[in-house]
């Protein structure tokens, strides 16, 4: 007699494959990936991570158990003799069959209830920071870069930067999130969950990093053609390093030192100043990233190019070739003008 289903061995194998994916070296490889949420480096992540693993493992266990029961049921099915057409099979009604339903519903409800309570407890813990944050940073999502403004009651202490966020370690930092044009979503996976940046609304979240490091972030709400190239870096540093960085950001960059650099500043103001701002100069545009201390950044174009002279030149020569659709058109510059602008930008420490 033919076996009713040939896939009976399948579910078990699939279950083991899932377990292997979760526990094997693959998870260690994830730990080395820049955008990984399977390791935690901050207070929010510490609460969320056990829940992520817990729910994953429980879900896999449920699938495996059910698969085994289904497979067992199929195998143990008593052999049926071929019935003449039209004759019905006698159905045996054993009262004990119903018990399985009660046991199954009971166990499932307990497991689900446990997961709900655990999730609520984690949500309660990550909703608000353990202590009142001393620092508030406003992050505005633009198509396709991040504006970062350090807020303060004292207007002289406010400054703006882009795509790289510095925070001190060991204390919670408040983030106010806004969308400039469409909905974006702010996510630094190793430190905490996602929060949307919505036009006309200010969402709040907080993050606290345990130890100094550079953590990759990414927009996680589809926001147009260059959504995938809307990254950022969060740089967590010791409170001393952070204070020094902040004090430096509040300064205007030094004046150009050479004639060529002065010409670069003039060309910059004429060709780029409508969109970009540089502290202490006439360039005060708000359409693109603030470039006051550009050379302090590790990356340009929202985390996608290293900030080195060759890539800076590549970007300024043809931004559309690197990020097609980006809101910086190809500048119309002579080779001399471009070289002078780059030599000036390289002084912006």
Residue 307: Cβ within 10 Å count: 18
Question: Under rule CB under 5 A, which residues in 168-197 are in contact with Cu ion?
Answer: 184
Q: Given candidates 11, 166, 289, 340, which one binds ligand HEC under the rule CB under 6 A?
A: 289
Residue 324: Cβ within 10 Å count: 10
Residue recorded with tokens 């147009």: 224
Q: Which residues contact 217 (CB under 8 A, 6 or more apart)?
A: 165, 186, 187, 188, 189, 231, 232, 233, 234, 303
What's the burial of 173, exposed, middle or buried (CB within 10 Å: 0-12/13-18/19+)? Answer: buried
Q: Given candidates 162, 197, 209, 219, which one binds Cu ion under the rule CB under 5 A?
A: 219
Q: Given candidates 105, 274, 280, 306, which one binds ligand HEC under the rule CB under 6 A?
A: 274
CB 180 within 8 A of CB 142: yes
Stretch that binds Cu ion, among 116-124, 173-181, 221-229, 255-263 (CB under 5 A): 221-229
Stretch that binds Cu ion, among 14-22, 90-98, 212-220, 295-303 (CB under 5 A): 212-220
Residue 223 interacts with Cu ion (CB under 5 A): yes or no: yes
CB closer to Cu ion, 8 vs 182: 182
CB closer to Cu ion, 144 vs 150: 144
Q: Which residues contact 195 (CB under 8 A, 6 or more apart)?
A: 175, 177, 185, 186, 187, 203, 204, 205
Residue 223 interacts with ligand HEC (CB under 6 A): yes or no: no
Residues paired with residue 207 on neighbouring β-strands, in sequence order: 173
Question: Under rule CB under 5 A, which residues in 230-289 are in contact with Cu ion?
Answer: 230
What's the burial of 82, exposed, middle or buried (CB within 10 Å: 0-12/13-18/19+)? Answer: exposed
Backbone angles phi, psi at 303, to 5 degrees: 80, 10
Residue 328 interacts with ligand HEC (CB under 6 A): yes or no: yes
Cα within 13 Å of Cα(170), Cβ side: 8
Min separation Cβ 289 and Cu ion, Å: 16
CB 292 within 8 A of CB 219: no
CB 115 within 8 A of CB 50: no
CB closer to ligand HEC, 265 vs 300: 300
Residue recorded with tokens 């190019």: 305
Q: x/- contact string, 144-183, with ligand HEC (CB under 6 A)? A: xx----------------xx--------------------
Stretch that binds ligand HEC, among 100-108, 199-207, 252-260, 292-300 (CB under 6 A): 292-300
Of these partners, Cu ion, ligand HEC, none, which one is at the site of residue 227 (CB under 5 to 8 Å by kind)? Cu ion
Residue 139 interacts with ligand HEC (CB under 6 A): yes or no: no
Q: Which long-range contacts (CB under 8 A, 24 or more apart) does 153-160 make?
A: 156/250, 157/250, 159/246, 159/249, 159/250, 159/279, 159/292, 160/277, 160/290, 160/292
Stretch that binds Cu ion, among 92-100, 160-168, 211-219, 281-289 (CB under 5 A): 211-219
Of these partners, Cu ion, ligand HEC, none, which one is at the site of residue 48 (CB under 5 to 8 Å by kind)? none
Of these partners, ligand HEC, Cu ion, none, which one is at the site of residue 223 (CB under 5 to 8 Å by kind)? Cu ion
Residue 234 interacts with ligand HEC (CB under 6 A): yes or no: no
The residue ranges that bind ligand HEC (CB under 6 A) are 144-145, 162-163, 226, 271-272, 274-276, 287-289, 291, 294, 297, 300-302, 315-316, 323, 326-329, 331, 333, 341
């Amino acid at each position: 007699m033919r076996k009713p289903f040939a896939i009976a061995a399948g579910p078990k194998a699939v279950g083991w494959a899932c377990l292997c994916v979760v526990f094997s070296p693959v998870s260690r490889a994830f730990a080395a990936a820049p955008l990984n949420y399977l390791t935690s480096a901050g207070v929010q992540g510490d609460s969320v991570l056990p829940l992520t693993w817990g729910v994953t493992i429980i879900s896999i266990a449920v699938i495996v158990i059910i698969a085994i029961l289904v497979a067992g049921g199929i195998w143990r099915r008593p052999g049926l003799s071929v019935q003449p057409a039209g004759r019905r099979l006698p159905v045996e009604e054993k009262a004990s069959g119903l018990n399985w339903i009660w046991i199954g519903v009971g166990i499932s409800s307990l497991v689900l209830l446990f997961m709900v309570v655990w999730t609520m407890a984690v949500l309660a813990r990550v909703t608000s920071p353990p202590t009142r944050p001393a620092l508030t940073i406003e992050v505005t999502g633009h198509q396709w870069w991040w504006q970062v403004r350090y807020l303060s009651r004292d207007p002289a202490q406010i400054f703006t930067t882009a795509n790289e966020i510095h925070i001190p370690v060991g204390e919670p930092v408040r983030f106010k999130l806004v969308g400039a044009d469409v909905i974006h979503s702010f996510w630094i996976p190793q430190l905490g969950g996602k929060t949307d940046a919505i036009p006309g609304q200010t969402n709040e979240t907080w993050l606290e990093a345990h130890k100094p490091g550079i953590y990759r972030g990414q927009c996680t709400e589809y926001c147009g053609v260059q959504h995938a190239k809307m990254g950022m870096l969060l740089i967590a540093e010791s409170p001393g390093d952070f204070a020094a960085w902040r004090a430096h950001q509040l300064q205007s960059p030094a004046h150009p030192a050479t004639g060529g650099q002065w010409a670069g500043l003039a060309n910059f103001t004429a060709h780029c100043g409508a969109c970009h701002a540089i502290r202490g100069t006439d360039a005060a545009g708000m359409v693109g990233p603030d470039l006051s201390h550009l050379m302090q950044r590790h990356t340009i174009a929202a985390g996608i190019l290293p900030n080195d002279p060759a890539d800076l030149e590549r970007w300024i020569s043809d931004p559309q070739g690197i990020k097609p659709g980006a809101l910086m058109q190809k500048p119309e510059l002579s080779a001399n003008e471009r070289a002078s602008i780059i030599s000036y930008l390289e002084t912006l420490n």
